[in-house]
């Protein structure tokens, strides 16, 4: 069987320090028939000059590389241009801060044939490994992503942006990438493909490596953006209209979402006792718990135990235990660091959901009224 041609697309905005490693890893793919399309999405650093050095549309230096410069129109707009100009039967997408393994494309191509009559494979998604730095954020992110992939079935609902490949004809038939999606464009197009009768399959051995996601502000901003975009996903693709597998890549986010309400309940139930002690109305001793404030304080203690149960069991427990096990710093510091980080993560998710609901009410950021 002839192997299909694959067009690999990558977009960049102000990521000049990642360009060389990413493009060289794409040129090193073992799949014999590829081309690379790179979109510079309005970068203001030295991306244009560095990318122009790689421009080789005729493949005189090996793998053909086409570079396109555009105004800052967004990731979806860049991928839309690449899809329109691709010459391969399959179109792969990745990110500039990703380093695909040499057999990434080959291992996805190996999965394009259906295993039974119920499959019409329109996309294949690989596995992203987030590398770790020394900070808590990168370790938590790496462990959390790894846990998501361990639980992933063969048939999935999401062709992840850093590591996926689409049948070009099928993708064009559903309208391609929608430039109006500022985030979660991979999930949105995946749901359209599934609604049209397609199947997205997971290829575990199709591996890419992501640079460490460090910095708490960067991490929280992305989680808030994820939650905000998810509101739009749910509105535009309600459950009653979705077919195929459910959302299998939410990971521990649903558990993290519970933490902010839980902490608010802990604080509210413990506050009367604390105020009573500070005002001198309650003397610490055995009889303190006989007052109504003491009874409510017991509720606060019980909720703290529930909080710890969430952090030690289930998907969030897997993340918490692995981060503590792999830490190189003092374990007590990591213990409290994970709790502070997951609390702020929960706050970010709620901020994103609230902003998403406001977007929906006002009909902005791509929401229909």
CATH number at residue 167: 3.90.550.10
d(CA 244, CA 225) in angstroms, rounded, equals 25
Note whether residue 64 is domain-resident. yes
Contacts of 352 (CB under 8 A, 6+ apart): 223, 224, 225, 226, 227, 228, 229, 230, 231
Note whether residue 234 is domain-resident. yes
Average pLDDT over residues 306-325: 86
d(CA 57, CA 357) in angstroms, rounded, equals 45
C-alpha dist (Å) from residue 210 to 24, 97, 101, 162, 368 = 15, 6, 11, 8, 34
- pLDDT tier at 342, thresholds 50, 70, 90: very high
- pLDDT tier at 286, thresholds 50, 70, 90: low
Note whether residue 365 is domain-resident. no
What per-residue confidence (pLDDT) applies to 294?
A: 80
- pLDDT tens digits, 208-238: 999 999 999 999 999 999 999 999 998 888 8
Structure-block tokens of residue 49 = 């000059």
Note whether residue 147 is domain-resident. yes
Strand partners, 99: 209
Query: Helix/strand/coil (H, E, C) string of 242-263?
Result: CCCCCCCCCCCHHHHHCHHHHH
What per-residue confidence (pLDDT) applies to 284?
A: 75
C-alpha dist (Å) from residue 203 to 111, 150, 368 = 7, 12, 35
d(CA 133, CA 138) in angstroms, rounded, equals 6
What per-residue confidence (pLDDT) applies to 238?
A: 80
Residue among 368, 369, 310 at smallest CA distance from 178: 368
Task: Give the structural domain span for 244.
Answer: 6-251
Note whether residue 160 is domain-resident. yes
d(CA 254, CA 310) in angstroms, rounded, equals 11
Q: Is 160 left (phi over 0), alpha (psi -120 to 50) or beta?
A: beta
- pLDDT tier at 243, thresholds 50, 70, 90: low
Higher pLDDT: 287 or 54? It is: 54
Note whether residue 228 is domain-resident. yes
d(CA 78, CA 22) in angstroms, rounded, equals 17
Q: How many domains does the chain have?
A: 1
Note whether residue 33 is domain-resident. yes
d(CA 318, CA 143) in angstroms, rounded, equals 8
CB 317 within 8 A of CB 251: no
The rounded mean pLDDT for the chain is: 90
Contacts of 43 (CB under 8 A, 6+ apart): 12, 13, 14, 15, 16
Note whether residue 135 is domain-resident. yes
- pLDDT tier at 248, thresholds 50, 70, 90: low
For residue 245, is pLDDT > 70? Answer: no
């Amino acid at each position: 069987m002839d192997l299909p041609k694959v067009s690999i697309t990558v977009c960049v905005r102000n990521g000049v320090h990642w360009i060389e490693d990413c493009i060289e890893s794409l040129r090193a793919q073992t799949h014999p028939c590829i081309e690379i399309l790179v979109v510079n999405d309005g970068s203001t650093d030295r991306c244009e000059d560095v990318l122009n050095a790689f421009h080789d549309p005729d493949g005189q230096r090996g793998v053909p590389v086409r570079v396109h410069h555009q105004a800052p129109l967004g990731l979806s707009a860049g991928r839309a241009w690449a899809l329109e100009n691709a010459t391969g039967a399959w179109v792969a997408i990745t990110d500039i801060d990703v380093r695909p393994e040499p057999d990434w494309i080959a291992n996805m191509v190996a999965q394009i044939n259906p295993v039974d009559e119920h499959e019409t494979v329109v996309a294949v998604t690989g596995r992203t490994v987030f590398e770790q730095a020394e900070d808590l954020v990168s370790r938590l992110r790496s462990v959390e992503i790894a846990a998501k992939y361990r639980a992933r079935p063969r048939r999935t609902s999401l062709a992840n942006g850093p590591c996926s490949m689409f049948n070009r004809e099928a993708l064009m038939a559903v309208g391609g990438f929608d430039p109006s999606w500022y985030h979660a464009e991979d999930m949105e197009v995946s749901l359209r493909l599934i609604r049209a009768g397609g199947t997205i399959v997971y290829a575990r051995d199709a591996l890419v490596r992501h640079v460490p996601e460090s910095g708490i502000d960067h991490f929280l901003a992305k989680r808030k953006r994820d939650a905000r975009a998810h509101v739009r996903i749910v509105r535009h693709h309600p459950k009653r209209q979705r077919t195929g597998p459910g959302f299998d890549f939410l990971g521990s986010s649903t558990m993290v979402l519970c933490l902010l309400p839980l902490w608010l309940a802990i604080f509210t139930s413990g506050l009367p006792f604390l105020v009573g002690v500070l005002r001198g109305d309650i003397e610490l001793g055995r009889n303190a718990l006989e007052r109504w404030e003491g009874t409510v304080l017991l509720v606060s203690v019980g909720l703290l135990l529930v909080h710890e149960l969430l952090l030690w069991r289930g998907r969030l427990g897997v993340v918490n235990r692995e981060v503590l096990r792999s830490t190189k710093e003092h374990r007590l510091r990591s213990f409290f660091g994970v709790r502070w980080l997951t609390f702020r993560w929960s706050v970010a998710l709620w901020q994103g959901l609230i902003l998403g609901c406001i977007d929906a009410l006002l009909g902005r950021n791509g929401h229909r009224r």
